[in-house]
């Protein structure tokens, strides 16, 4: 017995070899319109999803760090110790050499200035210059509790000029009786020096 001929195919590529009911080109039907199938649940171990972070409070300022704790402010002698290592000591040595030999002393004065600027940068960038490390103190922003940054550290170096404007450098002595032990420069830039 002969089989009846197949109806002509409407496929321009020729007759289809797929079984009836299966979509052309594959064995699985496409996902339902408007979505994809849900993802497969992860197995235990690697690939375990991390829970999402808590919802943000959009009206509040994010906290960048804890402010300096009250009572942890560096004492005036510790501040003097760090200033001596960072700038005062090298400047005194450079001036002594300058009075002995002006050309060599000029080089030492320039080196003392560069040393002081570098220590100011380090103090702002990391919170600790070499003198602050030796004294066990740290320079932080009063508002965020974090280091103020290298640029602001150098700016603070120059703002300290205000501390020495009066005949007696009252600004440098101000931490002796100030509650937060701040100089005028610290008050202007809203910085504090704390004990570690």
> 170 pLDDT band (50/70/90 cuts)?
confident
Would you kindly state where each structural domain of the chain is located, as residue ranges?
76-195
Q: Which residue has the higher pLDDT, 152 or 66?
A: 152
The 10s digit of each residue's pLDDT in 86-133 is 999 999 999 999 999 999 999 999 999 999 999 999 999 999 999 999
Distance of CA 5 to the CA centre of its chain: 78
What is the reported pTM?
0.63
The 10s digit of each residue's pLDDT in 17-73 is 555 555 555 566 666 666 666 666 655 556 666 666 666 555 555 455 555 444 489
Q: How many residues does the chain have?
A: 196
Please check whether residue 184 is in contact with residue 162, taking contact to mean a CB–CB distance below 8 angstroms: yes
């Amino acid at each position: 017995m002969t089989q009846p001929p197949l109806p002509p195919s409407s496929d321009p590529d020729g007759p289809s070899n797929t079984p009836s009911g299966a979509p052309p080109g594959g064995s699985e039907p496409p996902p339902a319109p408007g979505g994809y199938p849900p993802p497969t649940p992860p197995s235990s171990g690697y690939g375990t999803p991390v829970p999402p972070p808590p919802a943000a409070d959009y009206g509040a300022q994010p906290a960048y760090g804890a402010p300096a704790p009250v009572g942890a402010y560096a004492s005036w002698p510790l501040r003097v110790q760090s200033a001596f290592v960072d700038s005062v000591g090298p400047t005194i040595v450079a001036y002594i050499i300058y009075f002995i030999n002006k050309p060599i002393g000029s080089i030492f004065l320039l080196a003392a200035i560069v040393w002081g600027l570098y220590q100011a940068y380090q103090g702002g960038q990391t919170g600790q210059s070499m003198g602050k490390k030796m004294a066990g103190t740290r320079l932080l922003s009063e508002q965020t509790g974090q280091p103020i940054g290298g640029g602001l550290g150098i700016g603070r170096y120059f703002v300290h000029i205000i501390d020495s404007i009066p005949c007696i450098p009252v600004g440098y002595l101000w931490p002796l009786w100030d509650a937060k032990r701040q100089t005028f420069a610290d008050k202007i830039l809203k910085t504090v020096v704390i004990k570690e």
